[in-house]
Amino acid sequence: MTHNPKPYRTAPRDPATVPAGNPVEDTACTSRTGQRRAPGTTTHHAAVDTRPHILVVHRWRDEHALYENYIDHTTHRVTYVTTELGWSSLPPAAAGVVEVTATDDFGQVGAAAATLTALFGAPDRVVALNEGDLDTAAGLRARLGLPGQSPKDLARFRDKLVMCETVSAAGVRTPAFADAPDAAAVRAFADSHGWPVIVKPRRGTASRGVLRIDSAAGLSALDELPGEDRLVQEFCADRIYHIDGLWSGGRLGPWRASRYVNSCADFTTGAVLGSAEEDDPQLLDALGEFTASIAGALSAEPWVFHLEVFVGTGPDGRPNLHFLEAGYRVGGAEIPFVWREVHGIDLMAAAVDVQLGRRPTLAEPKTWRTGGWLLVPTPVPAPCRVIAAEPLTELVDGPYAQVVPPAGYVVPRTGGYEHVGARFRFRSLCTREVESAIAKAAAEFRLECTAVS
């Protein structure tokens, strides 16, 4: 077992230098000495350079994506728009970097892209791998007239109403759904399909804003939510699985199905969240066929997918499957790491290939092992300071890797599943063993935090 403290480094790596030339005002870009500049300082124009310019929108602090493995930083000028938290995982060979406070703020990222365009010329491609940045990247492509996924192309992967309409029209089984512009629409839907219902943002991520309403009396909860487009769905009590892999455009490439331990919605209310890869051959046969039908319905082109599916049992004892959601991306949480470390496959590489217009190819391992992961939430809402946390170094059959914050570390308040209380990764020969290890880790781990105002 290993303890990986890298995400808690406070000093960023040295970013690459910006070649000397005529100064231009920018926001927060790398300087000639490789140090971050404060907003409003100057940097420099690049000398004439005909290498392709790839602009990457990046937000992770840990090494979810190994960009230097995917894009040759010597034959390309690769620039980055990132946040303060994202600096520590930038490649040293980055040609230039602009810092923004949020990569899903299109205004800020657009201004950063303008700065990098002034320095390095117009980008040839824009890459974004985090789901929260897909809209930003599509908007940049549209603004700059670049090839790649446009806002219109992205809609069926980001707008959950369009997504459900698309797969349902292709004959994929889904729980009943409808647009939910207001409480009256939700009530009308429940009158037809019964209570409870699920109401959620059409463009939400990481279970943000997901609400279960059990009766008409609960409709008042909608009044407390921020204004945005929403979807209402029939409640389904079946177990939720996530399925991750590559669609080649005509068939499935490497893929894995995993049982959730608790749900993403449970995690927002204080429960642990995890998953263990499935090894039941009968269920996997059904899931493979179902996954191919979803992937093909959403795109005839290659794409890396993260699907969520309801898995129940029909009257005949066979799997009864229903579509929940799809993401045009590598799965979140520890999924990229489990794929690289347990299976020897980097799904991020395929995702970058797709966004660069290259044909993705991933070799399957001769033998699949079984992986899993666990996230522990902070006991108080972030931002919070860690008072005590001990890695699970003595646990038999425990995690092979873990990210546990040291005492004194302040967990930032940010969306997604990277900046949480603790993260653990597991591997074994079967689902049962991985699930058992996850349960033991969840029971044994202790984390104490105090709120930070």
Could you tell me the pLDDT band of residue 47, with boundaries at 50, 70 and 90?
Answer: low
pLDDT of res. 44: 42
Taking the C-alpha atoms of residue 374 and residue 260, their distance in angstroms, rounded to an integer, is: 10
Domain residue spans of the chain: 2-148, 176-234, 239-451
Residue 248 is predicted with a pLDDT of 97
pLDDT band at 397 (very low <50, low <70, confident <90, very high): confident
Q: Where are the beta strands (DSSP E) in 159-297?
A: 177-179, 197-201, 211-213, 230-234, 239-247, 252-261, 273-277
Residue 359 confidence (pLDDT) above 90: yes
**Please, what sign has the CA dihedral across residues 378, 6, 365, 346?**
positive
Give the separation between CA 427 and CA 398, rounded to whole angstroms: 9
Provide the token pair at 157: 């992967």
Q: Quick: pLDDT tens for 89-117.
A: 999 999 999 999 999 999 999 999 999 99
Q: Reading across the β-sheet that carries 211-213, which strands appear in turn? A: 177-179, 230-234, 197-201, 211-213
Domain 2-148 CATH (choose: 3.40.225.10, 3.30.565.10, 3.20.20.100, 3.40.50.20): 3.40.50.20
239-451: CATH, from 2.60.40.420, 3.40.50.1000, 3.30.470.20, 1.10.357.10: 3.30.470.20
Contact 141, 106 (CB under 8 A): no
State how beta strands 211-213 and 273-277 pair.
unpaired
Q: How large a percentage of the chain has pLDDT more than 90?
A: 84
What is the pTM assigned to this prediction? 0.89
Q: Tokens at residue 448, please? A: 């104490």
Q: Identify the residue whose tokens are 């463009």.
A: 203
pLDDT tens, position by position, 229-242? 999 999 999 999 99
Strands (E) across 142-251 are located at: 177-179, 197-201, 211-213, 230-234, 239-247
For domain 176-234, give the CATH superfamily: ATP-grasp fold, A domain (3.30.1490.20)
Average pLDDT over residues 416-426: 96
Cβ–Cβ < 8 Å for 59, 112 = no
